[in-house]
């Protein structure tokens, strides 16, 4: 996301590829709408729909009831995503659902399931409208969840993203699984979070519920009345109501800063030294807030601000901008209700921080200094500057790692892949499928070389997925690269059948049961499935069978055939794998029907055990009556 100040119309934005340009006027309009929804005595979650030219804005109001914000059975008020189909795919490496703040999620579900929001927003998208979800405070949390769901429901391959989210004073509400999913889907451009530098409430969920519950019981009613006052004075540059703040503000702010510091220090250490055993020890002993930022951020002071896309830098800025000793503690609360009074001026002076690794420790660029100093990020705060520079270095290192992989692939991996592709062709020429030939290993030298290349490739892909991708040494959207999806798919379809053949040749199924897929194949297949627009990058059906696991089901039935132990269950499993391949022309007959192949023998054996009624509807019919094409002279 790039930021452009001073565009002339609220809906003004430019679309170039995946990059979105937000305008100062659009953010100001969204802010005014976000504050206006708090006018009135109601405190239930709701929204207001407004047309601005070709843009439709849905402004959400969230409840500021202390029980909603801090009451929960877990330390930080988190819960797993549940009861909603469109976000169920958000899971971690152990297949556990993503976590979000329970209070925000329950408010969102109430609106999502009991209002016309889905229908209205969906219809606006179909009409070609640009849809913007926006909200202040907990309303921003609801807007963010609504945006995630609508992106998941509406996006189709090749369809431009016309759904956006703009929040103000948004408290972090999703864990690392949510944040990573947004980056891996390349949705970060769809989220713009505007945060005033000393708004303590936007950091509140980094502290345990129990540590802030008591002060919030007095503070949240005050915030509610202040936001109603701010909404009443929308468009005015005057400050909101001048009601005395509740007592205990200094202690409350100190608690938030303390826990924000703990999260930032741990997160920075984990990113810089992911293999440090001390990090794992700390994680097991101390439960820190699970919430992490996603999307792009605009941090503002009263005179301007900075926009930032580097997600590594967001947590440090949230902390260092709050760590200011020369500010009255009341200011940390008043800024949360002052967005529509402060932003009109601040948004005219936004500086975009691009390459943080080059961020100087001296104020060589006066424009940067002018906007960073009021946020507490000036050169006088060396820790802050070093932290931001480290965040930039992490992102830069990720890009450099991708370049290194490109060089390694060209130098090391193309040759093993070419050797295995030649091995497959030679086997077919000699009258057998390459998987059968590999399992029998009758041509020792050729089979030995094929096995060696199989192992080389396995080690290389494990290095990419387990030691680089899963440990954040590569960009999160690496899995969206068309070229790497193509390479991973080609490797999986060509080599996994050999892994299966080796597994059954060594009799591992006798001890461990059916073949269990290595994680590299699961990950590579998920990359392809998560990027539906790239499915055309799979190798043509005539070259490789499009189900790399099919051979495992063939081998399971072959084991039963050897024991003359027919199983309807195993037959049906194999049929269910074969049917979609035949329907989509994704079954390579050369690999499975050449010579006396195991596949051919298994299908023939199963066919003889099937009733006429079963044979009539079985996909095996196409295989039984298959005749290879006649060679042309």
In sequence order, what are the residues at sequence separation of 6 or more whose Cβ sits closer than 8 angstroms to the Cβ of residue 368?
A: 306, 351, 353, 359
Cα separation, 223 vs 216, in Å, equals 10
SS (H, E, C) 567-632: CHHHHHHHHHHHHHHHHCCCCCHHHHHCCCCHHHHHHHHHHHCCCHHHHHHCCHHHHHCCCCCCCC
pLDDT at 207: 94
Asked whether 484 and 478 are in contact (CB, 8 A), the reply is yes
* Residue 236, helix vs strand vs coil: coil
Q: DSSP character for 468? A: I
The reported pLDDT for the residue numbered 363 is 62
What pLDDT does residue 236 have? 46
Helix (H, G, I), strand (E, B) or coil at 554: helix
Tokens of 97: 């659902």
Query: How far is residue 589's CA from residue 586's CA, in Å, rounded to a whole number?
Result: 9
Angstrom distance (rounded) from CA 592 to CA 500: 14
pLDDT of 233 reads 52
Tokens of 537: 């990058």
**Helix 444-464 to helix 519-530 angle, to the nearest 10 degrees?**
60
Cα distance between residue 466 and residue 415, in whole Å: 23
Q: Is 136 exposed, middle or buried (0-12, 13-18, 19+ CB in 10 A)?
A: buried
Residue where the block lists tokens 């705060």: 381
> Is residue 357 classed exposed, middle or buried when 0-12, 13-18 and 19+ CB atoms within 10 A define those classes?
middle
User: Contact at 8 Å (CB) between 259 and 289?
Assistant: yes
* pLDDT computed for residue 541 by the predictor: 41
Ranges in the chain, pLDDT < 70: 1-21, 41-43, 155-160, 230-243, 274-275, 325-326, 360-364, 532-542, 629-633
Determine the Cα–Cα distance for residues 144 and 165; give it in Å rounded to an integer: 6
**What residues contact 211, with CB distance under 8 A and at least 6 apart?**
255, 259
What CATH number is given for 27-231+245-353+368-380 in this structure? 3.40.50
pLDDT at 291: 96
Question: Domain boundaries in the chain?
Answer: 27-231+245-353+368-380, 399-519, 541-632
Q: Which single residue is written with the structure tokens 């290194």?
A: 404
Pair 320, 201: CB distance under 8 Å? no
Distances (CA, A) of 142 to 107, 265, 412: 7, 28, 48
Q: Are strands 296-300 and 191-196 parallel, antiparallel or unpaired?
A: parallel
CA distances (Å), 57 to each of 27, 33, 130, 276, 555, in order? 11, 8, 8, 46, 56
The predicted structure's pLDDT at residue 412: 85
């Amino acid at each position: 996301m790039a930021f452009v100040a001073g565009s002339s119309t609220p809906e003004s934005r430019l679309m170039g590829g995946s990059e979105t340009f937000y305008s100062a006027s659009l953010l100001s309009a969204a802010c005014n709408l976000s504050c206006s929804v708090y006018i009135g005595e109601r405190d239930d979650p709701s929204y207001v729909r407004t047309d601005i030219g070709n843009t439709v804005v849905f402004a959400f109001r969230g409840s500021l009831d202390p029980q909603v914000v801090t009451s929960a059975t877990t330390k930080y008020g988190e819960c797993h995503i549940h009861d909603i189909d469109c976000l169920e795919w958000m899971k971690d490496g152990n297949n556990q659902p993503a976590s979000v703040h329970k209070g925000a999620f329950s408010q969102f579900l109430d609106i999502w399931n009991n209002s016309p929001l889905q229908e209205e927003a969906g219809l606006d998208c179909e009409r070609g409208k640009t849809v913007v979800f926006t909200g202040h405070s907990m309303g921003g949390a609801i807007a963010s969840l609504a945006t995630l769901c609508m992106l998941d429901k509406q996006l189709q391959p090749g369809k431009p993203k016309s759904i956006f989210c703009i929040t103000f004073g948004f408290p972090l509400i999703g864990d690392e699984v949510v944040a990573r999913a947004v980056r891996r889907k390349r949705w970060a451009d769809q989220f713009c979070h505007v945060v005033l530098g000393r708004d303590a409430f936007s950091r509140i969920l980094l502290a345990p519920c129990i540590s802030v519950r008591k002060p919030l019981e007095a503070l949240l009613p005050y915030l509610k009345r202040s936001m109603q006052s701010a909404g009443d004075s929308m468009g005015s540059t005057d400050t909101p109501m001048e009601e005395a703040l509740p007592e205990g503000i200094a202690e409350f702010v100190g608690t938030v800063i303390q826990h924000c510091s703990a999260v930032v220090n741990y997160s920075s250490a984990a990113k810089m030294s992911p293999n440090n055993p001390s990090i794992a020890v700390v994680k097991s002993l101390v439960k820190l807030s699970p919430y992490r930022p996603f999307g792009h951020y605009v941090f503002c002071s009263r005179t301007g601000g900075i926009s930032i896309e580097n997600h590594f830098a967001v947590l440090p800025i949230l902390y260092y901008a709050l760590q200011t000793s020369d500010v009255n503690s009341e200011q940390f609360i008043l800024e949360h209700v002052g967005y529509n009074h402060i932003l009109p001026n601040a948004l005219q002076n936004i500086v975009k921080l691009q390459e943080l690794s080059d961020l100087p420790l001296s104020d060589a660029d006066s424009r940067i200094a002018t906007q960073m100093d009021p946020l507490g990020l000036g050169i006088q705060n060396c820790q802050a500057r070093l932290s931001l520079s480290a965040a930039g270095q992490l992102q830069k290192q990720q890009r450099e790692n991708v370049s290194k992989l490109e060089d390694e692939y060209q130098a090391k991996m193309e040759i093993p892949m070419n050797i295995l592709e030649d091995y497959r062709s030679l086997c077919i020429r000699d009258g057998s499928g390459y998987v059968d030939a590999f399992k029998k290993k009758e041509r020792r030298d050729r089979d030995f070389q094929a096995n060696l290349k199989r192992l080389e490739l396995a080690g290389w892909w494990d290095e990419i997925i387990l030691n680089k991708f899963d440990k954040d040494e590569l960009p999160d959207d690496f899995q969206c690269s068309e070229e790497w999806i193509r390479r991973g798919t080609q490797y999986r379809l060509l080599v996994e059948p050999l892994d299966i053949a080796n597994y059954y040749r060594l009799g591992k199924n006798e001890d461990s049961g059916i073949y269990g897929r290595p994680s590299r194949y699961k990950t590579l297949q998920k990359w392809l499935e998560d990027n539906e627009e790239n499915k055309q990058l799979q190798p043509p059906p005539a070259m490789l069978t499009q189900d790399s696991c099919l051979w495992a089901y063939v081998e399971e039935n072959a084991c039963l055939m050897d024991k003359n132990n027919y199983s309807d269950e195993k037959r049906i499993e194999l049929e269910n794998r074969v049917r979609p391949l035949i329907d989509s022309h994704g079954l390579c007959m050369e690999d499975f029907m050449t010579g006396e192949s195991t596949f051919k023998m298994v299908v023939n054996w199963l066919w003889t055990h099937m009733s006429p009624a079963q044979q009539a509807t079985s996909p095996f019919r196409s295989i039984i009556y298959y005749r290879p094409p006649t060679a042309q002279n």
